[in-house]
Amino acid sequence: MHLFTTLSFAAVLCTVHGAPSIRSPTLVVQGNAADIELPPHTVPGTCPIDTISCQRKDVDPCCSPQNGLLVLAQQWDTRWGPSDEFTVHGLWPDTCQGKQLPGGGCDRDRAYSNITDILASSNDPDIISDMNSLWPSNKGDNNWFWSHEWVKHGTCVTTLHPRCYANSYVPYQEVTEYFRSILDLRAKYNVYAALNASGIVPTEPESGRRPKNTYTLAQFKQAIRDAWGVEPNVKCRGRQLQEVWLWFQVRGRDTYYPVEPWGQDTCQRISYQRKST
């Protein structure tokens, strides 16, 4: 299973007030046996638009993500976020065989710990407010959470490596693009709206020995299938809903489309409680 936000941030990070400079023009993809150094990509406009991730091995990793099976994890925490929205846990690239990538991420040179500063200095004026609302940490430290997600997962999105921008690269632009693209993906695949369309709505907290205000796993899965044609993975702690995972492959560099799940469900009866926010 993927790690939750309570785990330690083990990657090597830069200082909060100064991110490391961008160095090598080559991309190193970490694998189980050895790191593979790939040649520089200098003509981003030549990428084919119809390449499907995980279908070919001879594609430039700037044109199609090499870690081409991805999980969008949306959280339901009754203490955080708008009352009618799931919030983001992360977008997690996996290998095409469904294996997790190294826990420390894929690029130590871009292991930034000052993500809030980077986003605040970007040309996206709304991103900080959007992130605070829709990507909050359940531990109350948003910068730590966002930095953890960037280091462990964002650095493994090969299409966002600085070399993929060739001469047009602006320092840290891939960081903003990573987070904004995930916010956009969450908006497109709005789990709350999909569940609501099938009559699945948050209920009052459970009470009594045999609470009746729960849903079945099959109901959740059918609601998502009705919305997008695939099933999710649904994660619970005990009965209480925690997360809904949607799995994706990628067409071209960054067009995500949902696929059937590769993970495990951890729910049977689901307590989908109203938020206190």
Active-site residues, by number, are 89, 149, 153
Q: For the stretch 94-110, what's the b/e string if a residue is b when 16 or more beta carbons lie within 10 angstroms of its beta carbon?
A: bbeeeebbeebbbbeeb
Q: Answer yes or no: are the C-beta atoms of 122 and 172 closer than 8 Å.
A: yes
Helix (H) or strand (E) holding 148: helix 142-152
Question: Helices 142-152 & 173-188, crossing angle to 10 degrees?
Answer: 100
Q: Give the Cα separation of 51 and 45 in Å (integer).
A: 14
The total number of residues written for the chain in this structure? 277
Please, which residues have CB within 8 angstroms of residue 167's CB and are 6 or more apart in sequence?
none
**Long-range CB contact pairs, 93-97, < 8 A, 24+:** 93/65, 93/67, 93/68, 93/69, 93/153, 93/156, 93/157, 94/67, 94/69, 94/70, 94/262, 95/67, 95/69, 96/53, 96/54, 96/67, 96/68, 96/69
Tell me, what DSSP letter sits at residue 255? E
Q: Give the Cα separation of 269 and 80 in Å (integer).
A: 23
Q: Give the Cα separation of 102 and 31 in Å (integer).
A: 8
Tell me the two tokens of residue 51. 């390449």
Tell me the two tokens of residue 90. 């992360």
Q: Give the Cα separation of 77 and 202 in Å (integer).
A: 12
